[in-house]
Structure formats: structure tokens, C-alpha cells
A and B are shown apart, each in its own frame.
Chain A
């Protein structure tokens, strides 16, 4: 290790990193996304994916879903810091492995290939609710919804079958059952 002459302490050992899905309900006003994202970048937190849209146009509420990784301490800080932002109403935090919560991502996949390969591709997507949005003689656009790692795997598998373009959303989350997060 090279000798640092920094005026600050060297970092102590890093704890275990967990992946969490943070859901934030915010006032849909200009700059609110910049506040949330700026908090993450300013404090060195990680954003793996991000999904934002207005969910209530009467009350002007948007729902931001952020997938992030961090030590338990960092995750706790993320929640507390988010709650301090003035336009934030509430913050939910789910572990990725949480069975009570549904996580989904959507992807649009364009495959350019011969009919045989296209058929193979569609077959490969079968498990992930494929919808054909566009079809020509030599191409197809498929919409799938699945988990991040499933889409990761699928795009890898579809490459040799003619996948030329993939467009993906960030993850969105919803609790199972009748309860809602308060």
C-alpha cells in the first residue's frame, strides 16, 4: 500500500453489501428527481436502476423505485436522508430476496434473423410473458417482463439468435397481498 498523506482516516473494512429496492413517494415537481439522484451521487451511494413516473395526477405524486447496494448502515442512511427531503412523502425499503414483494422489469428486445431463429427466440422467452409488438419477415420486437437477472440471462442467450437491440426499464416493486405500504 502506498503511503497516503491524506488529512482523513483510511477506510475501515467494508461490511457485506446487500441489494435493496427503495421506493420513494414524492411530490411531482420540477427538480425532485435531481434532489433524489443528487443525494445518491453526492453521498456516494450506488444506483443500479431507477424507475420514475407519476402515479396520482390529482395529488401530484410520483413514485420513484431505486435499486441500490450498500452495507446495512448505508441502506439505513439512504432511507433517513431521503426522508429529510422536503418533497418526499414516504420511503419504503425492500430486500431483493423478500418473498412478500414482487419485482419486475420490462424489456423490449429486437431480433433480426430468419424465421427459424425468430421462432427459437420466442421459445426462449416463453417463461417471461412475451408479447410480440411488431413483426416483419426478418425481424420481431418482443416485450418481456421479468427479474433483472432473468433478463440479463435472456439477452445473453438471445445474442446468437439475432438480438440487435435491447431497451430496458428499471425495476418496479409492489407488495403481495391486500396490504399496502403506509
Chain B
């Protein structure tokens, strides 16, 4: 008998997610190379310092477009409701896997929703400060140096969120990553993580 699944993400959503994911990792590697002299060797992955300097902002442009699409695709699911606020209050039970004490989540839980808003905000900071650093001619040193600091702080936030995001999406909650690979999750997974979500049923 064919096992049935729930459709978590469409093909287009998955493509957009991985465009943002892959570009962000490339940006992180080259960005860390520019921020930390001891990590300058990371530029090797993009062909050395000069190539990394040229590619970093271009990849950043793709990242920006991807993020914009992502925002458009998901924004209407991302507003917090009253149960989400209770969820946030119970976040330590969520972390301790005490499911009976965690209010049921919809398609996205409150943590994911906040992640979405913070990353969207950081995206604006990345793109705005990055554009100035990409075309610095005509801007004063004070402005550019503060853009450099802002760009770094956004990286710090984005990088820390990435660690949490990858950890929770892979080893912490088995079955989650598949939703972003072939787009499917099992009904059991959905019942556990997103009880209020009724996804579209698909065979195999």
C-alpha cells in the first residue's frame, strides 16, 4: 500500500529557499573572509580575494531577489495569532520536548514566524548597507565605516539564526528537512509539529 504524505512546500518554494540558502552560505564564507584576516583563505572557494570581492555583491543581489520572493510567498502565513503568543510563553517546554505543555502550532510555529520576520529585516539591512559598500564612490568615510559595522552586525544575527535553523531542521527534528527537499512530510510528523495545519494530501 502506498504511504501517503502531506505537501509541505511547492517546487517553486523549495527552489527559492535553496537559492537563498546557498547564496547565504557563499556570502557568509566570503564575508567572514573579509571580516577575519585569519579566515581570508575562505576566499579560495570563490577563486581568491579579487574574485570574491567581485562575486560577493553579485551573489548578494541574487540573495536579495530570493529573499524578496520568499517574503512574497510566505508573508501571509507569518502573522502571529493568540495561540502563537502562548507558544512563545511555552518555548522552554518546546525545547525540552514536553509536547503536552506546548500550544498547538499551525503551518508555522511562532519561532518560525519570528525567524521569518527577523531574517526579512536583516535582509533589508544586508542589501541597503551592501549596496553602499558595493558602490562606495561619493560616500563619506564615516557613512561607509558605519555601513561596514552594520553589515557585520547583520551577519552576526543572520549567522546565529542559520545555526539554529539548520540544527532544528535537520538532526533535532527528523523528518523536517524532507519538506524542503522533495516537499513532503509524513502525517505523523505534521501531527507532532504542526497539529493545527491541514496540508494537502499526496500519494508517495
Q: Is chain B found bound to chain A in the same assembly? A: no
List residues of A whose CB falls within 8 A of some B CB.
Answer: none
> Which B residues lie at the A interface, using CB under 8 A?
none
